[in-house]
Amino acid sequence: MWVYEKKLLYPVEVTTCNPKLARYLMEQYGGADGELAAALRYMNQRYTVPDKVIGVLNDIATEEFSHLEMLATMIYKLTKDATPQQLEEAGLGPHFANHGHALFYENANGVPFTTTYIQAKGDPIADLYEDIAAEEKARATYQWLIDLSDDPGLNDALKFLRERENVHSLRFRESVQILMDERDRKKIF
């Protein structure tokens, strides 16, 4: 289904070890409004939407997985050289005790990822509005992460991700319009 090229969607440059910032980025890695939740939500919703918009859900879900890969790279680069003491000071002591330097799907507070984050109503228009909201929440979170960071290279990648959320929101809005036009079209039997 996919062709994998060992290259990030957008380059990720990190200039310093910063476990505290890594902890904040975990919100987008394994949080309720993060990339994993979005990718799984869209993949799951594909089964109950009309053929006219399945491609949008599939394409965006696939891109969300690439965003997840970028976030994993950011978190890894921000923590790979951190000492256990630095991780503890950043609030990542429990994470380190449980996972070492490995990544784990959890939010910034250390709460593990749960499938309750994945919304699916079975009504295509309701699901697409949920998807628009998810993209807008992710966009807002990326902006707040940018506001917390002073790393220019990292901020460049975060800005890229923020703008992709805008594009996804627009694509979902277009999909809603396609379905509404189809629903409202006069049917002659």
**Cβ contacts of residue 122 below 8 Å, gap of 6+?**
48
Domain for residue 164, yes or no?
Answer: yes
- What tokens were used for 60? 């965006």
Task: Look at residues 130, 134, 110, 114 and name the one whose alpha carbon lies nearest to residue 122.
Answer: 130
Q: Please state, in angstroms and rounded to a whole number, the distance separating the CA atoms of residues 26 and 95.
A: 11
- What tokens were used for 126? 């309701």
Q: Please state, in angstroms and rounded to a whole number, the distance separating the CA atoms of residues 174 and 53.
A: 9
Domain for residue 72, yes or no?
Answer: yes
CATH of the domain at 160: 1.20.1260.10
In which domain, by residue range, is 56 found?
A: 19-184
Domain for residue 121, yes or no?
Answer: yes
Q: How many domains does the chain have?
A: 1
User: How confident is the model over 36-94, as pLDDT tens digits?
Assistant: 999 999 999 999 999 999 999 999 999 999 999 999 999 999 999 999 999 999 999 99
User: How confident is the model over 105-115, as pLDDT tens digits?
Assistant: 999 999 999 99
Domain for residue 126, yes or no?
Answer: yes
Sort 152 into a burial class: Cβ within 10 Å, 0-12 / 13-18 / 19+. exposed
Residue that wins the pLDDT comparison between 83 and 182:
83
Over residues 134-139, mean pLDDT: 97
pLDDT at 184: 78
Domain for residue 177, yes or no?
Answer: yes
- What tokens were used for 62? 């696939």
In contact, 142 and 165? CB cutoff 8 Å: yes
- What tokens were used for 169? 């929101």
Give the whole-number percent of the chain exceeding pLDDT 70.
Answer: 97
pLDDT at 137: 97
In contact, 47 and 127? CB cutoff 8 Å: no
Residue that wins the pLDDT comparison between 130 and 184:
130
User: How confident is the model over 141-173, as pLDDT tens digits?
Assistant: 999 999 999 999 999 999 999 999 999 999 999
